[in-house]
Amino acid sequence: MRRGQAALEFLTTYGWAFLVILVMIGALAYFGILSPDKFLPERCTFSTETPCRDMQVSVSDGVKFYVTNNIGEKITAINFTVTSVDTETSASCTPSGTAAEIDVSASKEFTCSGSSFGLSEGSKAKFLVEGNYTRANGKYPKQVSGEIYAKVVA
């Protein structure tokens, strides 16, 4: 008879300890301590042919990023489309300046209007970037893909 009572008290003690641990994890999650978004760094990841040098995501201007030409020859007809992972909306990007071309080892800024992204200041947003370019003496377009993850500014 005593062995049954000892086993029940043992299991009850572990049950209370397990319940306390669950309440602690729930409290940490409620206050945002377990949110991984706060700890992940901002990143702009493209292919090695056309790496992303810098980026900015803002409520008013949308997504801006710099692309560098590491191909070894001039590239032209550069087109990028940015898609928000959260809202699944897309926007076309326009290059700075008049021509959509990048000289060897040069960079060019691209701006994607963000009125339809529904961004809120202070949050972090993730975007998938798809694009293509043509080499100056080539005929066929090459594809580029990448990812932007950044904090949204005003």
- DSSP label at 9? H
Q: What's the confidence (pLDDT) of residue 12? A: 94
Quick check: 83 pLDDT over 90? yes
Quick check: 114 pLDDT over 70? no
- DSSP label at 95? E
Hey, what CATH topology would domain 40-153 get? Immunoglobulin-like (2.60.40)
Q: What's the confidence (pLDDT) of residue 117? A: 83
Quick check: 2 pLDDT over 80? no
Q: What's the confidence (pLDDT) of residue 14? A: 94
Closest by CA to 116, choosing from 94, 92, 89, 83, is 89
Quick check: 3 pLDDT over 80? no
* Half-sphere exposure for 91 (CA within 13 Å, toward CB): 19
What pLDDT, in 10s, does the model give residues 16-63?
999 999 999 999 988 888 877 778 899 999 989 899 989 999 988 889
Show the tokens assigned to 110: 């691209």
Q: Give the start-to-end residue ranges of the domains of the chain.
A: 2-34, 40-153
Q: What's the confidence (pLDDT) of residue 100? A: 75
Q: What's the confidence (pLDDT) of residue 42? A: 93
Closest by CA to 40, choosing from 126, 114, 146, is 126
Distance CA 135, CA 76 (A): 6
pTM: 0.76
Q: What's the confidence (pLDDT) of residue 63? A: 93
